[in-house]
Amino acid sequence: MPSASIKKNIPCSKKDLIDLVLDIEKYPEFVPWCLGSKIHNKKDKGDIIEIVADLTIGKSFFRETYKSFVIYTKSKDSIHVTNLEGPLKYLENKWFFKEIGNNSEVEFHVEFELKNKILNLLMTKSFDVGLKKIAYAFQQRAKDIFK
């Protein structure tokens, strides 16, 4: 099962960076291969915000929509995402945020498996390159918005 982690220092506040990650409906504007997004439900339960959202991703012949469950825990400055339905057999990603001076450190971990074994093999081979492009996209978006 493909998995990876990445850590970045980004020149913006932790709150701004968390808001950027939770602004799922803006992903098509800057996230590579994200063709569409929709938040179905968002519940603020005090320390926890729960979001159910769709992302449509695509590249070349591949275009799929998957539904995910997002939990933002305010007291831990963390976001946890799992899949609910779609082409993913398994998805878990975790975001952790720390403020360091005028910057924020974001740590991102992802593990996934597609239901389609052939597509899963293809994704595994290009996974590191894709993760770096996505991390760079979030970093650039934060710099563009929060200068």
| pTM of the shown model | 0.89
Q: What is the pLDDT of residues 137-147, one digit of tens each?
A: 999 999 899 87
pLDDT at position 134 is 86
Taking phi first (over 0 means left), then psi (-120 to 50 degrees means alpha), and beta for anything else, what does residue 77 get? left
pLDDT of 123 higher than 70: no
Q: How confident is the model at residue 59 (pLDDT cuts 50, 70, 90)?
A: confident
Take residue 10 and report the two structure tokens written for it. 């980004």
H/E stretch holding 126:
helix 117-146
Give tens-digit pLDDT for 106-121: 999 998 887 777 665 6
**What's domain 3-146's architecture?**
2-Layer Sandwich (3.30)
Asked if 8 and 139 count as a contact pair (C-beta separation under 8 A), the reply is yes
pLDDT average, residue stretch 66-78: 97
Q: What CA–CA distance (Å, rounded) separates 23 from 37?
A: 10
